[in-house]
Structure 1
Amino acid sequence: MKTLMVFDFDHTVVDDNSDTWVIRCLPSQSLPDSVKKSYRKGYWTEFMGRVMKYIGEQQVSPDSVRSVMEAIPFTAGMTDLLTFISEHKSSIDCIIISDSNTMFIDWILQASGFQAAVDQVFTNPAKFNELGYMEVQCYHSHDCRQCPVNLCKRKVLELYLSEQSGRGVQYEQVFYAGDGGNDLCPTSCLRGHDVVMPREGYTLEKLLAKMEGEEDDCSLRARVIAWSSGTDILKELKASIQL
């Protein structure tokens, strides 16, 4: 029986939003209002497509985008946590479910040497087209009304757990670490002995506190343990595998 560690990425593994960090590759380090004002609530991935098209139109090379992304800071204590996970792969599986994109996350993990810690990344597919512009696609379609149109993290987690079960892999405990509103939905598929870990002071912690205050709401079964650094998560993870 293994332990599963599930991470969000932005403001969890890294201490910023990778989608807004990328703006630093522009000479002005800002977007024009025509792009900024084109965002529609729930359609962030579609918006990022326009952002990356604008970046390409400014003649910013893929290598320049990559070098900027590789400089994004990790959240405090997260490198120690990922090192521990990479050293205990016989006991811990680790996945990332993120509303970022494949290129940003792959670049950041490769530059830091942490690909070995992460078994799978579930995020929006991205690639550079023939013009040298990055194109970002929606991860999947779903019918969840709580989540952004491009990604329901609960659906991803449920499918992963089902597929692992089909391979004979059962998890003694699942830890879910995140920060945002889109991290609430997947907590509903966690069991009573699983742990949801919201980042202190962020949206997920506030939403979970509100849920816990509603006595008739039984959709949250997992224990809630807030974290402020990767060290807090590492402490709980070590305890779960009795190290």
Structure 2
Amino acid sequence: MVDGKNGIVVVFDFDKTIIDVDSDNWVVDALGATHDFDRLLSTMPWNTAIDAIMGELHARGTTLRDVADVLCTVPLDPHIVAAIKACHALGCDLRILSDANRFFIDAVLDHHGLGGYFSDVTTNPSHVDADGRLRIAPHHDFHAAPHGCCLDTCPPNMCKGQALDRVLASSGAAGGKKQRFIYLGDGHGDYCPSLRLGREDMVMPRKGFPVWDLICEDPALLQAEVHPWSNGAEMEETLLRLVARVEEE
């Protein structure tokens, strides 16, 4: 059961939303594996390629600590940190729904002291094997069966719309009020969950990014209110304004 004290659930994408870069590319570029990653991408899906490049880096002697150290240098806008802390203090239930992976997300959040602010992180799972090599698996095992979403904006390893449906289905009343959802994202994969939100909910697409372009193609397809943002300062102002508005209703 979702348990936001003020009845508001805020769901964040991670890459280019909480952080201002793509965490996969940040790690690959910083560890000097860009060319090899591009080679892998020519033959396999993104999520599979990230797992494979972690294997190649491990074989070269790159340690788990090396990967974590690179993630600690990921830029995080102080306005976004402030927005997360303010929403949490107001009683919002904060969640992450991301096509990154658990190791990368945890490393960044823990470095900035933000891990305890989120009640749930839905992403591609990761673990360290017996050899100390980071393994990254798909959220949805598409090798066994497709996730079945009809939108071509969802990658094979994750339909965020289906993941959000599970959160919506588990939501109930908080303090006698129906749960209200605010969804923030930037990429193609954030379009599907935006379509799943209801009339009482709000979506915050990052302006000028793929999800914004998709929404603009036919805004009438969305039931939720649309509130775009461009940078950390705009995200903080918009998000806190929407939370305050819902609290007053």
TM range (shorter): 0.7 to 0.9
Can you give the 5+ residue segments of structure 1 that lack an aligned partner in the other structure? 213-217
Contact 2:7 2:173 in 1 (8 A): no
Q: Describe how 1:4-153 pairs up with structure 2 within 5 A.
A: 4-26=9-31, 29-33=32-36, 35-39=37-41, 43-75=45-77, 77-89=79-91, 92-141=92-141, 142-146=147-151, 147-153=154-160
Inter-partner Cα distance in structure 1 for 2:245 and 2:101? 32
| CA deviation after TM superposition for structure 1 residue 174, in Å | 0.8
| More displaced stretch, 69-78 vs 122-131 | 69-78
- Report the equivalent of 1:154: 161
| CA deviation after TM superposition for structure 1 residue 117, in Å | 1.7
What is the DSSP-based 3-state SS (H/G/I as helix, E as strand, rest coil) of the residue aligned with 1:100? strand
Inter-partner Cα distance in structure 2 for 1:164 and 1:18? 30
Distance 1:41 1:145, change over 3 A: farther
What is the DSSP-based 3-state SS (H/G/I as helix, E as strand, rest coil) of the residue aligned with 1:184? helix
Q: Describe how 1:201-212 pairs up with structure 2 within 5 A.
A: 201-212=208-219
Contact 1:227 1:233 in 2 (8 A): no
Distance 1:39 1:145, change over 3 A: farther
| CA deviation after TM superposition for structure 1 residue 166, in Å | 9.9
Contact 1:25 1:60 in 2 (8 A): no
Can you give the 5+ residue segments of structure 2 that lack an aligned partner in the other structure? 1-5, 142-146
| CA deviation after TM superposition for structure 1 residue 74, in Å | 1.4
Aligned-residue sequence identity (percent) comes to: 28
- Report the equivalent of 2:144: none
What is the DSSP-based 3-state SS (H/G/I as helix, E as strand, rest coil) of the residue aligned with 1:11? coil
Inter-partner Cα distance in structure 1 for 2:139 and 2:241? 32
Inter-partner Cα distance in structure 2 for 1:162 and 1:169? 17
Contact 1:11 1:75 in 2 (8 A): no
Inter-partner Cα distance in structure 2 for 1:45 and 1:177? 22
TM-score scaled to structure 1, two decimals?
Answer: 0.87
Distance 1:68 1:174, change over 3 A: same
Contact 1:4 1:171 in 2 (8 A): no
Query: Between Structure 1 and Structure 2, how many residues are aligned?
Result: 233
| CA deviation after TM superposition for structure 1 residue 24, in Å | 4.5
Distance 1:42 1:187, change over 3 A: farther
- Whether 1:199 and 2:206 are equivalent positions in the alignment is yes
Inter-partner Cα distance in structure 1 for 2:204 and 2:44? 24
| CA deviation after TM superposition for structure 1 residue 30, in Å | 3.3
Distance 1:52 1:175, change over 3 A: same
Residue identity opposite 2:70 in structure 1: V
- Report the equivalent of 2:243: 237
- Report the equivalent of 1:226: 228
